[in-house]
Structure 1
């Protein structure tokens, strides 16, 4: 098929630059990223619950790679250990930015979401333990309901968010980043059975070289870092530590100081470039080969009757909201920390329910905690059930809060006499009442940037 410039264009060929830029920009937004992830999970569920199930299992379990290097892995293993390292690399870069120039830089600002995140990890784990052990189960999967899925949670918030306070998104992002860091620590410490010391030392030396080139020498050029990243990833995998740890480690080593007076912050710029690959390829492919569980009466029955599966589902749907909301309340009640201006505890309650969407990382930890495929099937079903329940409940609560803020916005901007001045500013004592009002200022959806993450100003810079 000819293109506008006269050159032939193949159906499956590389997209022209404007179209590639459009796709990449779309994948940087939470809405599109969440939709792609949801679509991949839906395809997996349909594929695994039709007569084509055998083909799904054959593709998922197909092995390829370099056996001499210990890298003859299944497709599912490659997506979990390899592609998710890209996701955690972006998460590490975002965390580094938040620690240096973002919300986590100021202890007073960071205290509430950090305590909320810690509560959101501890209480679901305890919830799981109490439910599982009281019904004769084990503690094996205590970490499964700890994680919050950034892509899904921010995607849900982006779809609903029109008048909600902008501080709500910053709170959720900070909470989810700390949550992901906690998940990586848990994976590295509790789900590493054996350590191959020479490979681990090699990975650490590789990280040292990465830091020296990037931060000290400020060497540019992807042709230096991609081969080095692959070596670090391979050594980390060979060491026995889960290979995704390599991703978050390299993300945390990225430099945040600007390149020159008007230059990019490398951590922001690199994360900006890699995020479409993470959101459009890495996470959806992992979901495609991790979420394909058989949804039947027997499977759902096993979820609600099995001690471990019920612990996972309730840990996500109930433990998360108790942990996040309880941690927030304790932080503002017994410390000097305060909620960001414009946030109310009712907003945090809705957000705490949304934090129970623990899809990607929960599925990963579930695979590590339960090596038996039959057990994995039930644990994955429990993760899906708990996350879906939390997402639906959060949608209801967020809609209610959004309706309240929409009404506040309409009241503050009403101009019945069409003189260009809001009626509320023309009433007697209006200014005094507005200045003394502690309530949050409603958000104008026309003024809200919809492009995505905190480093998305790069979109305007190309």
Structure 2
């Protein structure tokens, strides 16, 4: 007797109901944060390119903090190293959750988004390297176009009013999580200054205490927040980028639910901290990082200087081709079948949307060209234009399929029996079919009653007075 043929895995298929609800909640917060991020970036550009431009520079360069602790930093520096630690803390929790309870927990299921994300980072780096080498430019910025900004991407979706099916949004979120992981590794490995081993040892000891307190079940923000600040300060003084401290602490949180728990500690803390990250930390970083002068010379440099042109093409071309090509190859060789409701142009649209690399790209740009203020601003301008072009291309591609997406979203949300669970998740449940039969019978009875009333009314109208 022949062995049964294994059922092929479905790519961009329907999520489980708990995963769908988690993704919807997470992306809802990110969308609001993305709109604030977009507003902050626009405000920064207006502030820096008006007669108030000097005040922008004065505020961004204003130093504050205890010099005795090595923390006499500019406002811009506090935003990049301090506030973004909150962003990376949330990224660490997201990564931990994906590894233990999300799309990345199953190696076979994780293969496709991981391969897509890796290709989506390798291709932009390759494009930058080729363009910069051909033009005789610096290779220091190879990592700038490798990052995806999920919040900015979702803000674009919110602005253009395109509703994507939850599976596509989850794929985009998973891409961004893996993307963040590799961005963290890039920052830790390639942008670490001369190490202060005493400070680094102190930071590692602090992380060990943090982990031990978590394992002992110690609770209270008044314990963890001061400890986190000490760890961050030591990590900053060690020469390792301070945001790594946020990632490390996020990865230590437990993200699996135990019996009787509605939410794991990681999910609970993420729910509390994500609004601070998306609504405050990242927009403030954008406000003090995106304010570059957009003059004629700057625009000319974006399209002519090899470093800036490499960043722009890396985001627009490299990201799209890398993610789409990696996804197609992974699906081809893992025999994963694309959801029958979708088509490969949908994957191309998501790949182009991932070319919006704002927050982490700006951060890496600052780190890569820290010794050249002019080139740093030009690279930031190229990140802005590259993200803008990627957003426009994605909007065009998504709008071509907007009716299909709206129909899929309506099917996902339909709940005719009004039990709080979308009907599509109950179709294999006999009780669901019984409830639906009762609903349809009530509707049919109501229609018959209305028809009888209407018939009686017509009969009365035709009768003699």
Instruction: Please report the TM-score for the alignment, with normalisation by the length of structure 2.
Output: 0.81
Equivalent residues of 1:27, 1:33 under 8 A apart: no
Deviation at 1:226, TM superposition (A): 0.2
Question: Would the alpha carbon gap of residues 444 and 201 (structure 1) be closer, same or farther in structure 2, given more than 3 Å must change?
Answer: same
Q: Distance in 1 between matches of 2:341 and 2:111?
A: 17
Question: Would the alpha carbon gap of residues 30 and 236 (structure 1) be closer, same or farther in structure 2, given more than 3 Å must change?
Answer: same
Q: Distance in 2 between matches of 1:101 and 1:318?
A: 33
Equivalent residues of 2:29, 2:274 under 8 A apart: no
Matching residue of 1:308 = 307
Matching residue of 1:435 = none
Q: Distance in 1 between matches of 2:382 and 2:130?
A: 16
Per-residue deviation, residues 69-98 of structure 1 (Å, max 9, x unmatched): 110000000000000000010111011111
Equivalent residues of 2:149, 2:357 under 8 A apart: yes
Note the 1:328-407 alignment, pairs <5 A. Answer: 328-339=327-338, 342-371=341-370, 372-406=372-406
Question: Would the alpha carbon gap of residues 45 and 163 (structure 1) be closer, same or farther in structure 2, given more than 3 Å must change?
Answer: closer
Per-residue deviation, residues 394-425 of structure 1 (Å, max 9, x unmatched): 0111111222344xx3xxxxxxxxxxxxxxxx
Q: Distance in 2 between matches of 1:233 and 1:344?
A: 45
Question: Would the alpha carbon gap of residues 77 and 340 (structure 1) be closer, same or farther in structure 2, given more than 3 Å must change?
Answer: farther
Check if 1:217 corresponds to 2:216.
Answer: yes
* Secondary structure in 1 matching 2:72: strand
* Secondary structure in 1 matching 2:64: strand
Please provide the CA RMSD for this pair.
Answer: 1.9
Q: Distance in 1 between matches of 2:27 and 2:255?
A: 23
Deviation at 1:258, TM superposition (A): 2.4
Q: Distance in 1 between matches of 2:256 and 2:117?
A: 27
Equivalent residues of 1:109, 1:338 under 8 A apart: no
Equivalent residues of 1:162, 1:445 under 8 A apart: no
Count of equivalent residues: 390
Per-residue deviation, residues 342-380 of structure 1 (Å, max 9, x unmatched): 543211100000000000000000000001211111000
Q: Distance in 1 between matches of 2:180 and 2:191?
A: 15
Check if 1:174 corresponds to 2:174.
Answer: yes
Q: Distance in 1 between matches of 2:337 and 2:237?
A: 45
Q: Distance in 1 between matches of 2:39 and 2:187?
A: 27
Note the 1:39-50 alignment, pairs <5 A. Answer: 39-50=39-50
Question: Would the alpha carbon gap of residues 201 and 447 (structure 1) be closer, same or farther in structure 2, given more than 3 Å must change?
Answer: farther
Matching residue of 1:428 = none
Q: Distance in 2 between matches of 1:173 and 1:341?
A: 21
Matching residue of 1:80 = 80
Q: Distance in 1 between matches of 2:163 and 2:272?
A: 29
Q: Distance in 2 between matches of 1:296 and 1:342?
A: 46
Unpaired runs of at least 5, structure 2: 1-24, 416-465
Q: Distance in 2 between matches of 1:189 and 1:343?
A: 39
Question: Would the alpha carbon gap of residues 117 and 26 (structure 1) be closer, same or farther in structure 2, given more than 3 Å must change?
Answer: closer
Per-residue deviation, residues 160-187 of structure 1 (Å, max 9, x unmatched): 5655322100100000000011001000
Unpaired runs of at least 5, structure 1: 1-24, 410-440, 449-462
* Secondary structure in 1 matching 2:65: strand
Deviation at 1:107, TM superposition (A): 1.7
Check if 1:444 corresponds to 2:411.
Answer: yes
* Secondary structure in 2 matching 1:142: coil
Q: Distance in 1 between matches of 2:162 and 2:50?
A: 38
Check if 1:257 corresponds to 2:248.
Answer: no
Question: Would the alpha carbon gap of residues 221 and 349 (structure 1) be closer, same or farther in structure 2, given more than 3 Å must change?
Answer: same
Q: Distance in 2 between matches of 1:84 and 1:151?
A: 14
Deviation at 1:108, TM superposition (A): 2.2
Structure 1 or 2, whichever has the larger Rg, is 2
Note the 1:206-285 alignment, pairs <5 A. Answer: 206-214=206-214, 216-258=215-257, 260-285=259-284
Per-residue deviation, residues 93-123 of structure 1 (Å, max 9, x unmatched): 0111111011111122211111110001000
Per-residue deviation, residues 308-345 of structure 1 (Å, max 9, x unmatched): 00000110011100110011011011224454675432
* Secondary structure in 2 matching 1:78: helix
Question: Would the alpha carbon gap of residues 51 and 349 (structure 1) be closer, same or farther in structure 2, given more than 3 Å must change?
Answer: same
